[in-house]
Amino acid sequence: ALAGVAYIGYGVYQDRNPEPQAEPDPSKKTLVILGTGWGSVSLLKRLDTENYNVIVISPRNYFLFTPLLPSCTTGTIEHRSIMEPIRTILRSKKASVKFYEAEASAVDPDRKVVRIFDTSEVKGDMIETEVPYDMLVVGVGAENATFGIPGVREHSCFLKEIGDAQRIRKRIMDCVETAAFKDQSPEEVERLMHMVVVGGGPTGVEFAGELQDFFEEDIKKLVPEISDRFKVTLIEALPNVLPSFSKQLIEYTESTFKEEKINIHTKTVVKKVTDKTVEAEVTRADGTKEKVTFPYGLLVWATGNAVRPVVKDLMDRIPAQKNSRRGLAVNEYLVVQGARDIWAVGDCAVAGYAPTAQVASQEGNFLARLFNNMARTEALESKVRELSSTLNLQPGNTAEISREIEEYERQLRRIKDVKPFHYSHQGSLAYIGSEKAVADVTWFNGNVAAAGGLTYLFWRSAYISMCFSTRNRLLVINDWVKSKVFGRDLSR
Ligand code: NAD
C-alpha cells in the first residue's frame, strides 16, 4: 500500500516544478496569451513552453468547465468541482510560464503591446501597465448579448461565469424563502415562484431542465406549502427551441418540457425588462402581434454572445476587420486578418464555426501544434546554417556534414507543411431535465440523433471524460452521488 501511495505521489509531483524563470530569455520570442478559457487553455496544455517566454493574462485565475455550469445553479454540482486553477495547470509545464491576473483593456498592434489593468482588492487602486509581445493570442471569449434591451443588465442574471451560477443559486432560494414568508399575497407568491428564462439555445434549455429537476426532486419535498406555485417559463424569439439541433430532437425536447411542465413561449421576443416583469411581443399564428407581460421572481438571460470591448477596440484599429461584426476575422491558420503576429481562438474569433467549447479547444490544439512547429523549424534552420558554415571550415568531413544537412532539410520540409485548421465536429449534447438528454452525434461520417435516458448516461460519461483533470472528475462524480443521496443543499 505504501508503495502505491508513493507511486501516486511520484506521479503527481514528478516534473511538476519547472525552474522559475526570473527574467525572460532574450533569445526567445515572447508569446502572450490572453484568456484562460477553452481556447487558451487547450493551447497551453499542448504548447512546448520551453520554446517561448510565455505570459498568460486573464482576470480569471482558473479554467472553468462550462458545459456543467447549468448544474451549478441548483447545487447538483458544487462550483469548485468544475474549476481548475491556472497555476496548477502551468505547474505541469516543462518550462516556467508567467501568469498575471488582470484584464486586457487594449491591444496596440503597431507598438505590439497589450494594455492590462488589475483591479486588485488588496491594493485598492487600479494598477495599469503594458506588456510587450512578439506573438499574441487573443482568447478572451465573448460577453452576454443584451441587444441593448432596456433593463436586462440591471435586472437579469446571466449564465457565463461561476459568479453568475452562484448568484442564480442564491436568487432561487431567495425567491422560495420569500414566497414562504408569512402572509404573502397569492399574486406575490406566484410572481416569486415564477422562474423565467430568455433564450431557447442550449444554455437556456439546459438551465430550464436543471431548474425543474431541482424543484421536483428537492424544493417540492422541503417547501411543500408553496410548491404548486413553482413555474418555469422559457421564452424564445424563433419558432422553436434548440435551433442548431435536428428536427426530431427539437420535437423531443419540446414534448419533454411539456411533460415536465416547463412552459415554452416561442415566437416571443423580449422587448423590455423591469425589476419584476418581462415585457415581450408574441407573433400569433395569423401573423398578428400581441404584447404580453410575465411577472417573475428570477430572470435568467441566455440569448447568446456579443463582442467584448477589448476585441471591438482591436477590430477598430485594423482596417481589414472593418466588415467583421461578430469578432476578429481570422484566416485558416487562425491569424487575425490584417494584423501581424496576432492569432485569435474561441468565441472572440470568427472562423466560420459556432461559438462552442469544442471549436475553441480544437483551435487551441491547432495553435499549439503550429507554434511548436514554428519553433522546431527555426531550430532546424539555424542548425542547417551552422552546419553549412562548418562545411567550408572542415573539408575532411564534407560527406558526413552534407548528409546531416540533408536529413535536417528533409525534416524541415515535413514540418513546414502545416495543414490549415480544420474543425472536426464530434456532435452536440444537451441535458433537458428529468434524466434525459439529446445528442446529435457524428458517427462514422454520418449523423446520429439520440434522445432519452440512455443518452443522459452518454451525456454524463462524455462530460466526465472531458473534465479537465482527474481531481475535477472525482469531485463531479462525488457531487452527483451526494445530491442524489442527500438531496441538493438549499442553504443560501
Ligand atoms: P444561442 O445563441 O445558442 O441561443 C440564444 C437564443 O436566444 C436564440 O435562439 C435567439 O433566438 C434567442 N433570443 C435572442 N434574443 C431574444 C429575445 N429578445 N427574446 C427572446 N429570445 C431571444 O445562445 P446560448 O444557448 O448561450 O449558446 C451560445 C453558444 O454556445 C452556441 O453556439 C451554443 O451552441 C453553445 N452552447 C452549446 C451547449 C451544448 O452543446 N450543450 C451548451 C451551451 C452553449
Secondary structure of 418-463 as H, E, C letters: CCCCCCCCCEEEEEEECCEEEEEEEECCEEEEEEEHHHHHHHHHHH
Look up residue 103 and give its amino acid: E
Report which protein residue has its CA nearest ligand 1's atom 42.
Answer: 202
Q: Report which secondary-structure segment, H or E, holds 466.
A: helix 453-466
Report which protein residue has its CA nearest ligand 1's atom 23.
Answer: 304
Q: How far is the CA of 56 from the centre of ligand 1 (A)?
A: 29
Residues of the chain with pLDDT under 70: 1-22, 394-396
pLDDT of residue 414: 78
Please classify residue 258 by burial: count the beta carbons closer than 10 Å to its beta carbon, then call 0-12 exposed, 13-18 middle and 19+ buried.
exposed
CA–CA distance, 89 with 49 (Å, rounded to integer): 12
- Here the cell at position 286 is 395569423
Q: Of ligand 1's atoms, which has the minimum distance to the CA of residue 236?
A: 21
Separation of CA 299 from chain center: 22
Residues at CB less than 6 angstroms from ligand 1: 67, 149, 198-204, 235-238, 243-244, 269-270, 302-305, 354-356, 428-430
CA–CA distance, 114 with 479 (Å, rounded to integer): 40
pLDDT of residue 16: 53
Please spell the DSSP secondary structure of 258-272, one letter per residue. HHTTEEEE-SEEEEE
According to DSSP, the residues that pair with 447 across neighbouring strands are 442
Q: What are phi and psi of 64, to 5 degrees?
A: -115, 125
Q: Of ligand 1's atoms, which has the minimum distance to the CA of residue 199?
A: 7
Q: How far is the CA of 476 from the centre of ligand 1 (A)?
A: 25
Q: Could you tell me which of 165, 162, 158, 190 has the C-alpha nearest to residue 176? A: 190
According to DSSP, the residues that pair with 58 across neighbouring strands are 101
pLDDT of residue 394: 66
For the whole model, what pTM was predicted?
A: 0.93
pLDDT of residue 123: 77
The question of ipTM being above 0.85 is answered as: yes
Q: How far is the CA of 242 from the centre of ligand 1 (A)?
A: 8
CA–CA distance, 35 with 15 (Å, rounded to integer): 25
With a CB cutoff of 8 Å and minimum separation 6, the contacts of 171 are: 157, 297, 298
Please spell the DSSP secondary structure of 99-162, one letter per residue. EEE-EEEEEETTTTEEEEEEE-TTT-SEEEEEEE-SEEEE----EE--TT-TTHHHH-B--SSH
Per-residue burial over 396-433, b = 16 or more CB atoms within 10 Å of its CB, e = otherwise: eeeeebeebbeebeeebeeeeeeeebeeeeebbbbbbb
CA–CA distance, 56 with 469 (Å, rounded to integer): 20
Q: Of ligand 1's atoms, which has the minimum distance to the CA of residue 238?
A: 11
pLDDT in tens, 313-324: 999 999 999 999
3-state percent breakdown (helix, strand, coil) of the chain, nearest 5: 45, 25, 30
Q: Of ligand 1's atoms, which has the minimum distance to the CA of residue 268?
A: 20
Report which protein residue has its CA nearest ligand 1's atom 26.
Answer: 304
Q: Could you tell me which of 89, 99, 98, 100 has the C-alpha nearest to residue 16? A: 89
Report which protein residue has its CA nearest ligand 1's atom 14.
Answer: 303
Q: How far is the CA of 238 from the centre of ligand 1 (A)?
A: 11
pLDDT in tens, 64-121: 999 999 999 999 999 999 999 999 999 999 999 999 999 999 999 999 999 999 977 8
